Structure 1
Amino acid sequence: MSEFSNALSVSAHALQAQATRLRHVSENISNADTPGYRRKSVSFETMRGPEETELLSVGRVQLDKSALDRVFDPAHPLADDSGHYEGSNVDLMLEIADAREAQRSYEANLKMFDQTRQMSAGLMDLLRK
């Protein structure tokens, strides 16, 4: 029974990590037009769980250090003397690709969680007979 709980724990931690990743991707997409916004990304780390199980956890949130886009709009309140202001460094194509990858990883871990739960229920049914 311990193997089932380990598998559920691994899946649950991975689900939580991918949900956090999706949250940051959605924040990036929401702030793509916000002046001065820097893209956020998360890193994943492994930690030791019970019985030396490796669990996925979310590391520190990192801000993208790449240069911000310079946008020409003399009417914008943040524009300098030359009519430019700093936009964001969010690339929507990259964010959509990250969102799809995180969604697929989330779905795969959800399927693993469900399969483990079904196997555990099947084992309980066999033990009752």
Structure 2
Amino acid sequence: MDYSNIFAISAGGMTLERTRVEVAALNLANANTVAAPGTTPYRSLRVLAQATFGDAVSQGLAAATVQVEPTQQEPRMVYEPAHPMANPQGFVTYAGVDTVTEMVTLMSATRSYEANVAAMNSTRNLALKALDIGGNS
């Protein structure tokens, strides 16, 4: 049996989940960034992955196209007239990042990464056991 496809699927899944964690961490790091009046504030990002079933089976998730795109979430406007970055109306523009959503994304991606590691370890153990059984006969 060829285990390389199984390892490729798990490795592709781990790569995708690592990207999700990195993007969520970037969003959380910029959650409280302020935009100067007249400039574009930080836009939160999302990871989009797309693969056909045939490609995923034959080549693993490494065949998936992974894109990081900005979301359409509006920036937060907070009334802080004493803030140095406040606009003439007294509002400060913060990045439109939902910290709860980002934390859920972090937890979900971490659990998915762990599941891919467990699948890869199980496959490795099965392959080693098959070699051990085949070697003793």
Same topology, TM > 0.5: yes
Check the 8 A contact 1:17/1:58 in 2, yes or no. no
In structure 2, the residue matched to 1:33 is 32
33, 40, 58: which is aligned to 1:52? 58
87, 103, 111: which is aligned to 1:104? 111
1:58 shift after superposition: 4.9
1:128 shift after superposition: 1.6
Q: CA RMSD in A?
A: 1.7
In structure 2, the residue matched to 1:126 is 133
CA distance in 2, matches of 1:27, 1:76: 24
CA distance in 1, matches of 2:32, 2:46: 17
CA distance in 2, matches of 1:52, 1:97: 31
Q: Give 5+ residue unaligned stretches, structure 1.
A: none
Q: Indicate yes or no: 2:85 matched with 1:86.
A: no
CA distance in 2, matches of 1:58, 1:110: 21
In structure 1, the residue matched to 2:8 is 9
Over residues 56-102 of structure 1, what are the superposed CA-to-partner deviations in whole Å (9 max), with x where a residue is unaligned? 53521111112111122223232111111211111111111111111
Q: Report the residue type matching 2:15 in the other structure.
A: Q
TM-score between the two structures when normalised by the length of structure 1: 0.89
CA distance in 2, matches of 1:84, 1:125: 69
CA distance in 2, matches of 1:31, 1:58: 26
CA distance in 2, matches of 1:79, 1:34: 13
1:113 shift after superposition: 0.5
In structure 1, the residue matched to 2:48 is 43
Q: Report the residue type matching 2:113 in the other structure.
A: Y
| 2:51 alignment partner, SS class | strand
| Structure 1 residues 58 and 27, CA gap change in structure 2 (3 angstroms) | farther
Segments ≥4 residues shifted beyond 4 Å: none
TM-score between the two structures when normalised by the length of structure 2: 0.84
CA distance in 2, matches of 1:101, 1:88: 23
Q: Report the residue type matching 1:106 in the other structure.
A: Y
Instruction: After superposing the two structures, state which structure 1 stretch, 64-73 or 105-114, moved more.
Output: 64-73
CA distance in 2, matches of 1:86, 1:95: 20
Instruction: After superposing the two structures, state which structure 1 stretch, 54-63 or 15-24, moved more.
Output: 54-63
